[in-house]
């Protein structure tokens, strides 16, 4: 499998409030690269978001704004790219929100949600949160809500699913963005 696992953390509820982003690149079913950046959002931080991910306004004061981050990663998002996220609806909404906010062109890509694949392939799990799925599959997740840790875990979940179930049940859940 070839895909990019993506995870955003946000400063608040607004879809353009990304404050960190991580990508984990997978080629031929092996993790081959990682990208991580803090992002300086143009909006205020909400205390609850800080409580969840631990990123404070002072942490991103010198960080690039989203358009500069996008310049570094936009080549990963094209028509044949498979972008995977745990709760992909959230992460793809943040990506679209940031692109809209800065009036940047929306890319077309394929999307796959490991919450959905986990619900289908592991219906017996008590829930399908990232930390629960990782615990059940013996996948290391030391710092949940760190974008890079979460992206790695997401990649490992999909690789586990591929190795145990093959790609056919996964293909059925791919959507076009």
pLDDT of residue 66: 98
Give the integer Cα–Cα distance in Å for 29 and 88.
20
Give the integer Cα–Cα distance in Å for 53 and 101.
23
Tens-level pLDDT at each residue, the chain (177 residues)? 999 999 999 999 999 999 999 999 999 999 999 999 999 999 999 999 999 999 999 999 999 999 999 999 999 998 889 999 999 999 999 999 999 999 999 999 999 999 999 999 999 999 999 999 999 999 999 999 999 999 999 999 999 999 999 999 999 999 998
H helices within the chain, ranges in order?
47-53, 57-60, 66-73, 88-101, 114-121, 130-137, 147-165, 168-171
Which of 17, 14, 96, 13 lies closest to 60 in space, CA to CA? 17
pTM of the model: 0.96
Angle between helices 88-101 and 114-121 (to 10 degrees): 170
Taken in order of first residue, the domains within the chain and their CATH numbers are 3-176 (3.30.420.10)
pLDDT of residue 120: 97
């Amino acid at each position: 499998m070839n895909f990019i696992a993506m995870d955003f953390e946000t400063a608040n509820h607004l879809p353009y409030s990304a404050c960190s982003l991580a990508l984990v690149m997978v080629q031929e079913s092996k993790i081959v690269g990682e990208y991580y950046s803090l992002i300086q959002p143009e909006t205020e931080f909400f205390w609850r978001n800080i409580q969840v991910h631990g990123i404070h306004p002072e942490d991103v004061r010198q960080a690039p704004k989203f358009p500069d981050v996008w310049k570094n990663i936009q080549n990963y998002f094209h028509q044949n790219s498979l972008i995977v996220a745990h709760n992909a609806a959230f992460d793809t909404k943040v990506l679209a929100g940031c692109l809209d906010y800065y009036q940047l062109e929306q890319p077309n890509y394929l999307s796959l949600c490991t919450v959905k694949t986990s619900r289908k392939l592991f219906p017996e799990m008590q829930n399908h949160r990232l930390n629960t799925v990782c615990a059940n599959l013996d996948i290391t997740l030391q710092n949940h809500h760190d974008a890079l840790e979460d992206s790695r875990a997401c990649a490992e979940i999909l690789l586990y699913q591929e190795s145990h179930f093959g790609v056919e049940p996964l293909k059925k859940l791919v959507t076009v963005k």
